[in-house]
Amino acid sequence: MLRNRLFNILIAIALAIVVALTVREATAISSIVAKTDSANQSDTECASLPSHYSIHSEYVEEIGTAMTYTEDGPTGVDGGLIHLLSAYRTCSQKGE
């Protein structure tokens, strides 16, 4: 009778270990999939930025000052260039 109980306890412990390892692997896989999905979304956002080498300044005679432009047009006023450069910094840090 003692052997029977000991065998049942060993089987229950082995089953609990198998279930715990399965749950751990399932949570690890789901977190990896979630990170991959968010990385793919941010990669498309980073790909939509204009070329970093297309940033240049042009003198605008109408307003009498130099403004920064990209291949898509002016970067804007009130921090448009600063926002663009910070977006480049965010994209480059995600790749590391």
Question: What six digits make up the tokens of 35?
Answer: 């990170």
Three-class SS state of 32: helix
State the Cα–Cα distance between residues 94 and 6, nearest whole angstrom: 53
Per-residue pLDDT of the chain (96 residues; tens, 9 = 90+): 788 899 999 999 999 999 999 999 988 888 777 776 565 555 666 776 777 677 778 888 888 888 888 777 777 666 677 667 767 666 765 544
Using the structure block, give the residue that is written with the tokens 């991959």: 36
